[in-house]
Each structure stands twice: as C-alpha cells, then as structure tokens.
Amino acid sequence: ATINSAELSDAEDAYKRLPVKTQEEFLQIEHRLLEDGTYKLLISKLKRLGGSDYKDCIKRMLKKIMTDNVMMLFSFSGHKGKMPFCGSKICDALLGAVQECAPDASLKEIELKVSIYLSKAKERVMIKERKQDN
C-alpha cells in the first residue's frame, strides 16, 4: 500500500508532536498510529535515532516518544496500578524500530530494558527536580 501525501503529512505531524507530555497526548498519538502510514513512519523515524547498542537505542527512542513524567504513568505490563505500555501501538513501533536497529538483540532483552527504563522514570524526574532546586 502506498502512502498519499495527506497521510504522509498527518504522519509527519504526529511525529513532530513527540515527545508526548500528557496521558491525553499519548492516547491521541496512539489513535493516530492505527493509520498504517503513521505507524510505518514512526518506526522509520525512530530507527534513524539509532544508538551504540540496543540499550542505547531504547533510551534514545523512549526519550523521543514521551517525557519521564508520562513514563511514570506506565509499567511494561501494567503492574502497580499503572497503565500497560506493552500492547500499545507506540510500544509495538518502538520494539519494531529497536529490532531493526539491533537485530542481534532478542525481543525478551528489548522488553526487559524497556521495562527497566520505564520503572526508573520517577527516579529521573526526582533527580531533575533536585538539580533545579540547587
């Protein structure tokens, strides 16, 4: 399926809105990723962020997708009353992009690193706040 120019500009617009800063923005992007062109463009753009290894790719891509404050609302599988990141179109796009950047990394390794990075969002926010207070 080819992507027409209107779909492409919608997809570009969705990418320009990243990183998402609220849960509502996350859900808006999630909805837009139901369009095949937007989904494919996100994977393509995330891949270009690259990284020195799969862990670095994940970190760079997640920072592009959403702020630490939004990451705090998620856990990979939805534990501790948080929303599940796994199963979202955004997560699928991230996993696909990382697998293309680092084909030697297993899906399990990638999922584990995403899970750990999400779980440390609160820590990163607190460190940032402490730096601002000084």
The pLDDT of residue 11 is: 74
Domain extent for 76:
5-133
The mean pLDDT value for 113-125 works out to 97
Q: What is the pLDDT of residue 92?
A: 97
pLDDT at 10: 75
Distance, in Å, from the CA atom of 109 to the CA atom of 27, rounded to the nearest integer, reads: 26
How would residue 4 be classed by pLDDT, with cut points 50, 70 and 90? Answer: low
pLDDT of 13: 85
Q: pLDDT band at residue 9, thresholds of 50, 70 and 90?
A: confident
**What pLDDT, on a 0 to 100 scale, did the predictor assign at position 74?**
97
Place 103 in a pLDDT band, splitting at 50, 70 and 90: very high
Confidence band of 2 (pLDDT split at 50, 70, 90) = low
> Residue 3: pLDDT above 70?
no
Look at residue 62 in the predicted model and tell me its pLDDT: 98
49-70: pLDDT as tens digits: 999 999 999 999 999 999 999 9
What is the total count of domains within the chain?
A: 1
How far apart are alpha carbons 27 and 20 in whole angstroms?
9
